[in-house]
Structure 1
């Protein structure tokens, strides 16, 4: 029987009622004990890394999770991480860059209702996660409500429904129905994974809104090493303040800052070359474009890249290099 390591981090799945609302109270071992079917799937060891609402997740927690997997990688056939849903997609993306080409499954799961509730999705999600953790699938994935989603392509798209996660700009890897795994796509792996042990958290994010002032962008650039701009549609920046946005970005890039353009639109990605408001940015500034990447993946990828290098050419090369199928629609030559 295969052996799986269960890592507890808190989240709704482990929560109980208190006078001030739900809060994590159960350990990973206590979660496993609530689902007897798991003992028929695999042997399980449990580690409790921390017990927090996932709203409180930070990059340092991602490093803790990755380090625990690194330290135990040779002893287990797969890994299951019980995690809160609100930031699960960010954690999945971060682990996809911290643990690359894993030949073993690294599964994140959680729930919309605590495992102690009568009406809960926790038990099914946990059992499904362990089923995938002993499968031939590999790499970082989210298993939730029967869907198996690539770590770099996941996003929480519903706040309360059991079908909480969607796969963005990429097909589902598999589905689990009535305890059976139906595999569609198998991610790329190597005999041994590549582990990384550092992230640079100094990444800002600006979501464009009608009437936005370039002063806010300037502030974010001043206080971060890189800024992601979520623009409208296929991408671009307004000209109602003259060349204000353009000038702020040009100065930032000249000063060694990294600027990434992406879109607020969930599906299909960006293409700055389509409209005049994006064309001049793309052709006159050395900024980066996220194309079909999710914002979660772009953020985590920048943290990973900027922890390794501050060289502009290397940042561009790494960002434009597909990792864990995070980027498909690349429309530029890596230079």
Structure 2
């Protein structure tokens, strides 16, 4: 018999109406009751870990979740984690790095409509998640709208549609269709060592999107605020302006001060390539780290995790030159 843990943290899926709008209120037992079926082949334990709107889900909560999973994973064949959709991709990416070599599947899911709504997508999402964690797979995934996506590749792209998440720059690792649930073996995570909880995160990391005419002084402000790392969403394949407002020289200054800078693209799809244009080559020479085809969520959380391990820019760069959970396609 498979042993599964349903771990709840709140979110829309567990919400009900209040005078101030939707607020998380359903317990894990109540969430389970909405499935309307009982599978004698599995035993499900329920635990209410948090009860938050995911807008309030921050690195401190990621640590709580990661530590709890580290405490109990050996007792289960799989874990389903319910979570709000707004920050789900951040939490999923962070857990992917923090739960190194997780030997069981962790499926993170939620819904666009509360379970109490008669047309909720939550029932289907939870059912799919329970089916997925019964398979012999490993690692952290997001399960949504009958797709199983690598946690570091999933991005919320729609606010209302049930097809809220897309797997960016890589196909979903699994899908449900008329043949049932099936996986792409080549896209699944395979652990290569013993499990290790790596829950030290550096929260002094900032994500910034470049805009035409941006004042380079913003980087002086971030330095003054003692940020240890910056993720920059550059133009196109990696363009950063240096005429009139010289951002590249400013980046060189902050890199020399020991701040790790990761640059990826503002474009959701395809990869950045700093070798194409003069501006990109200038950035590389200044010591910045290429983000290639990473999502912003994955780049930000990986930088938090990397700086939690070391604040040596050279070592941080080496960590970004390694793909741990298929979060990056390296050339």
Give the alignment of 1:52-201 within 5 angstroms.
52-177=52-177, 180-185=180-185, 186-190=188-192, 192-201=194-203
Determine the C-alpha separation between the residues in 1 that align with 2:317 and 2:224.
20
Determine the C-alpha separation between the residues in 2 that align with 1:327 and 1:93.
12
Offset at 1:163? 0.6
1:232 partnered with 2:235:
yes
Q: Which residue of 1 aligns with 2:259?
A: 257
Offset at 1:265? 0.2
1:287 partnered with 2:288:
yes
1:207 partnered with 2:213:
no
- 1:291-322 CA deviation, whole Å, 9 max, x = no partner? 01111111111111111111122111111111
2:261 counterpart SS class: strand
Determine the C-alpha separation between the residues in 2 that align with 1:41 and 1:214.
60
Please tell me the root mean square deviation across aligned C-alpha atoms, in Å.
1.5
Q: Structure 1's 272 and 191: CA in aligned 2 closer, same or farther, altered over 3 A? A: closer
Offset at 1:236? 1.9
Match of 2:268 among 266, 269, 282: 266
- Contact 2:27–2:48 under 8 Å retained in 1: yes
2:250 counterpart SS class: helix
Determine the C-alpha separation between the residues in 1 that align with 2:125 and 2:103.
22
1:36 counterpart SS class: coil
Determine the C-alpha separation between the residues in 2 that align with 1:179 and 1:120.
24
Offset at 1:166? 0.5
Give TM-score, length-normalised by structure 1. Answer: 0.94
Q: Which residue of 2 aligns with 1:333?
A: none
2:126 counterpart SS class: helix
Which residues of structure 1 form unaligned runs of 5+? 331-335
Determine the C-alpha separation between the residues in 1 that align with 2:237 and 2:41.
45
Determine the C-alpha separation between the residues in 2 that align with 1:41 and 1:154.
30
Give TM-score, length-normalised by structure 2. Answer: 0.95
- 1:171-204 CA deviation, whole Å, 9 max, x = no partner? 1111123693111133212464222121111100
1:300 counterpart SS class: helix
1:158 counterpart SS class: coil
- Contact 1:269–1:291 under 8 Å retained in 2: yes
Q: Structure 1's 41 and 239: CA in aligned 2 closer, same or farther, altered over 3 A? A: farther
Offset at 1:30? 1.2
Q: Structure 1's 13 and 38: CA in aligned 2 closer, same or farther, altered over 3 A? A: farther
2:149 counterpart SS class: strand
- Contact 2:237–2:274 under 8 Å retained in 1: yes
Determine the C-alpha separation between the residues in 2 that align with 1:28 and 1:18.
19
1:69 counterpart SS class: helix
Offset at 1:38? 5.0
1:250 counterpart SS class: helix
Determine the C-alpha separation between the residues in 2 that align with 1:38 and 1:95.
29
Determine the C-alpha separation between the residues in 1 that align with 2:213 and 2:101.
43
Moved more, 84-93 or 185-194: 185-194
- 1:26-77 CA deviation, whole Å, 9 max, x = no partner? 1122101111325446211111111111011100111111111100011111
Question: How many residues are aligned here?
Answer: 328
Q: Which residue of 1 aligns with 2:309?
A: 308
Determine the C-alpha separation between the residues in 2 that align with 1:120 and 1:146.
14
1:37 counterpart SS class: coil
Q: Which residue of 1 aligns with 2:20?
A: 20
Which residues of structure 2 form unaligned runs of 5+? none
2:106 counterpart SS class: strand
- Contact 2:242–2:249 under 8 Å retained in 1: no
Moved more, 88-97 or 16-25: 16-25
1:298 partnered with 2:292:
no
